[in-house]
Amino acid sequence: MRRLTRRGPLAVIAALAVLVAAVPARAAVPDSPAVHFTNPIALQRADPHVFRHTDGYYYFTATVPAYDRIVLRRATTLQGLSTAPETTIWTRHATGEMGAHIWAPEIHFIDGKWYVHFSAGTAEDVWKIRPYVLESSAANPLTGTWTEKGRIRLPLDTFSLDATTFTHNGTRYLSWAQNDPAVGSGTSIFLARMSNPWTISGTPARISTPTHAWETAGHRVNEAPAVIRRGGKVFMTFSASATDSNYCLGLLTADATADLMRPASWTKSPRPVLSSNDATGQYGPGHNSFTTSEDGRSDILVYHSRDYRDISGDPLDDPNRRTRYQKLYWNADGTPNFGIPVADGATPVRFSSYNFPDRYIRHREFRARTDSNVTNLADSQFRAVTGLTGDGTVSLESANHPGHYLRHKDSEVWLERNDGSAAFAGDASFHRRAGLADSASGVSFESFSRPGHYLRHSGHLLYVQAPRTALDRADATYYAE
Known catalytic residues are 47, 223
Q: Any idea of the CA torsion for 11, 13, 16, 17, to the nearest 10 degrees?
A: -110
- Residue 112, judged by CB atoms within 10 A of its CB (0-12, 13-18, 19+), counts as exposed
> Which has the closest alpha carbon to 477: 385, 355, 331, 332?
355
Residues near 35 by Cβ (< 8 Å), separated by ≥ 6? 293, 298, 300, 327, 347
Beta strands in 79-187 (DSSP E): 87-91, 100-110, 113-121, 130-136, 147-151, 160-168, 171-178
Distance between CA 190 and CA 132 in Å, rounded? 16
As a whole number of Å, the end-to-end CA separation of the chain is 57
Between CA 281 and CA 111 the distance in angstroms is 42
Task: Measure the CA–CA gap between 202 and 261, rounded to whole angstroms.
Answer: 10
In the chain, what is the greatest distance between 2 CA atoms, to the nearest angstrom? Answer: 106
DSSP 97: T
The CA-CA-CA angle for residues 246, 213, 249, to 5°, reads: 50
